Amino acid sequence: MATAASTGVDGPGRCAYDGKATAFAFENPAGETLSWTFVGVRGVDDEVPEPTVRKILGTVRLVDSTP
């Protein structure tokens, strides 16, 4: 798992906010590398709090898709 954040963003429009990301990668039983990524903004009223991101991440489960 890795987390990253940007600071000092002052671009116009949609790029006017600092950002944050959390990524989780793993290998499934077939040997494939899979990942889950959350990308959001920081410093806004409706920012998704880090505990919520971690709670969502905690729900990631491998599912055997073999018939």
pLDDT at 4 over 90: yes
Would 66 be classed as within a structural domain?
no
Mean pLDDT, to the nearest integer, of 22-43? 89
Report the share of the chain in percent with pLDDT over 70. Answer: 91
The amino acid occupying position 25 is A
Would 43 be classed as within a structural domain?
yes
Would 63 be classed as within a structural domain?
no
Q: How many domains does the chain have?
A: 1
Would 47 be classed as within a structural domain?
yes
Would 12 be classed as within a structural domain?
no
Would 30 be classed as within a structural domain?
yes
> Average model confidence (pLDDT) for the chain?
86
pTM tops 0.85, yes or no: no
Distance CA 53, CA 16 (A): 22
Would 31 be classed as within a structural domain?
yes
pLDDT for 50 equals 92
Most confident of 16-20, 46-50, 61-65: 46-50
Contact criterion met (CB below 8 Å) for 20 and 3: yes
Residues 6+ apart with CB under 8 A from 41: 17, 18, 19, 20, 47
pLDDT at 55 over 80: yes
Range(s) of the domain holding residue 53: 2-6+18-57
